[in-house]
Amino acid sequence: MDIVIKHTQPLRVVVASASGLSHAAIGAAFGRLMPAVTAHLEAAGAKPGIGVGIYADAGGTAPDGEITLHAGFDVGDQDVPDSEAVRVMDLPVLEVAAAVYRGSGDGIPGA
């Protein structure tokens, strides 16, 4: 496995949000938010791209009850309006460290 530094692509996403979460509640909140975003995209006649989950927690130090999750899908240049529960976010280009695995899919669990 190699670690590389690269830049992400800008991403336009449509998300629903939940605040006041604990670390343990993030997964369940993600599951509750995604159907609302899917229904919003269907009503707008838009197709979902990759799923996206965004939350800020510097190294797991956010106190329980203070995490905000934004969950949704990439929509590219599709025209999707905001609603009371769902909004469009433009994510910037970021510099990230990425793990690059080379090999068969059988080796991924051990990577």
**Cβ pair 80, 44 in contact under 8 A:** yes
User: Rounded to two decimals, what is the model's pTM?
Assistant: 0.77
Q: What is the pLDDT of residue 59?
A: 65
Q: What is the pLDDT of residue 88?
A: 97
pLDDT digits (tens, 9 = 90+) for 68-82: 999 999 999 999 999
Listed as ranges, residues in the chain with pLDDT below 70 are 57-60, 107, 109-111
12: left (phi over 0), alpha (psi -120 to 50) or beta: beta
Q: What is the pLDDT of residue 52?
A: 92
